[in-house]
Amino acid sequence: MRWTDVAAVEDIPRQGSRVITGGTDPVAVFRTHDDQIFALIDRCPHKGGPLSQGIVHGASVTCPLHNWVIDLATAEATGPDEGCSGHVPARVDRGRVLVCLPQSFGG
C-alpha cells in the first residue's frame, strides 16, 4: 500500500471536500464537521454525479444530482438506495492527509 500526501487537513474545508485528479477516476477527499477524513471515488453509484460537489452532513455526503446519500466510511448508498462509489483508504498523520490512491494514478 502506497500512501500519498495530498493536503494539510486545514486545506479541506469542514463539511467540504477537495478533488484529486490524475487517474482514471477522480478521488474526493472529505472532511467532516468533527475533522474526520474520508476518501471516495468521486462518482455517485446512481448516475455518476460528482460527490465532491455534494453536501457533507455527519459522516455522509448527499449527491448533488439526485440526493442519494453515501456513507463516507463505507462508500455505500444508504436507505433504500443501493450501490457503492468506491472507498479509498485515507488517514491523517501530523496534520497531513494521506490517501492510498488507486493504481490508475500510476507512479
Asked if residues 50 and 74 have their Cβ atoms less than 8 Å apart, the reply is no
pTM for this prediction? 0.93
- What residue type is assigned to position 26 of the chain? P
**Per-residue pLDDT at 23:** 79
At residue 57, the pLDDT reads: 97
Confidence band (pLDDT; 50, 70, 90) for 1? Answer: low
d(CA 59, CA 37): 9
Q: Which residue has the higher pLDDT, 23 or 34?
A: 34
**Of residues 32, 39, 43, 14, the one with CA closest to residue 99:** 39
pLDDT recorded at residue 101: 85
- Does residue 54 have a pLDDT over 80? yes
The stretch 42-59 carries a mean pLDDT of 97
Mean pLDDT, rounded, of the chain:
94
C-alpha cell, 82: 443501493
Whole-number Å distance between alpha carbons of 81 and 34: 26
Cell of 62: 448527499
Residue 82 CA, distance from chain mean position: 18
User: Does the pLDDT at position 85 exceed 70?
Assistant: yes
Secondary structure class of 97 (helix, strand, coil): strand
